[in-house]
């Protein structure tokens, strides 16, 4: 079982997300501005009250709690999956998603929105700003795809794990 791997990755993603957001808000972006880092990358300060790309950002005061509740439900399902996982890469993927989800939940419950600060762009086209929790979630999904495409979702005895 690779529970400890998944849990370690979840803690690392969660902690790095919270620390990076604190540094951006309290140190780097004081005052708030656009910081050009590379010709394709800026540091910015934005608050997303919805989910991916600002979807579901209704401004309803209960929305952060509903979105957080849903995210925690998903974390619970993933934690159960992690507990039963016998595949190293799958456990890493689950941990990465859990850490990212919890980072955004903590931010949303504390501030009513998720702090975003990574801004990648090409010419005048800017990808929506995001944060390290989002990176953890996307990386976790990518690792899942790698395990499924590589056939690494099988346990040592050749059977598929039960979720």
Place of tokens 């997303």: 48
Closest CA to 129 of 142, 117, 137: 117
In the numeric block, the tokens 């507990």 are attached to: 83
CA distances to 1, 135, 137 from 148, rounded to whole Å, are 18, 20, 17
Cα 46 from Cα 8, distance rounded (Å): 29
Residue in 17, 107, 116, 119 annotated catalytic: 116
**Among 90, 105, 102, 88, which Cα is nearest to 15's?**
102
End-to-end CA distance of the chain: 14
* Catalytic site includes residue 119: no
User: What are 151's two structure tokens?
Assistant: 């056939």
Is 116 among the residues known to form the active site? yes
Among 17, 107, 119, 134, which one carries the catalytic annotation?
134
Active site residues: 116, 134
């Amino acid at each position: 079982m690779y529970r400890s791997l998944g849990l370690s990755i979840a803690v690392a993603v969660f902690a790095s997300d919270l620390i990076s957001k604190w540094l951006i808000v309290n140190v780097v972006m004081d005052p708030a501005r656009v910081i050009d880092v590379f010709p394709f990358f800026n540091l910015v300060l934005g608050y997303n009250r919805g989910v991916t790309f600002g979807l579901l950002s209704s401004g309803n005061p209960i929305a952060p709690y509903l979105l957080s509740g849903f995210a925690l439900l998903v974390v619970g399902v993933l934690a159960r999956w992690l507990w039963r996982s016998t595949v190293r890469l799958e456990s890493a993927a689950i941990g990465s998603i859990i850490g990212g989800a919890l980072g955004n939940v903590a931010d949303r419950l504390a501030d009513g929105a998720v702090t975003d600060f990574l801004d990648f762009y090409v010419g005048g086209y800017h990808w929506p700003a995001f944060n390290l929790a989002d990176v953890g979630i996307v990386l976790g999904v990518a690792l899942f795809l790698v395990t499924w495409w590589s056939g690494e979702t099988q346990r040592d005895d050749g059977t598929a794990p039960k979720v």
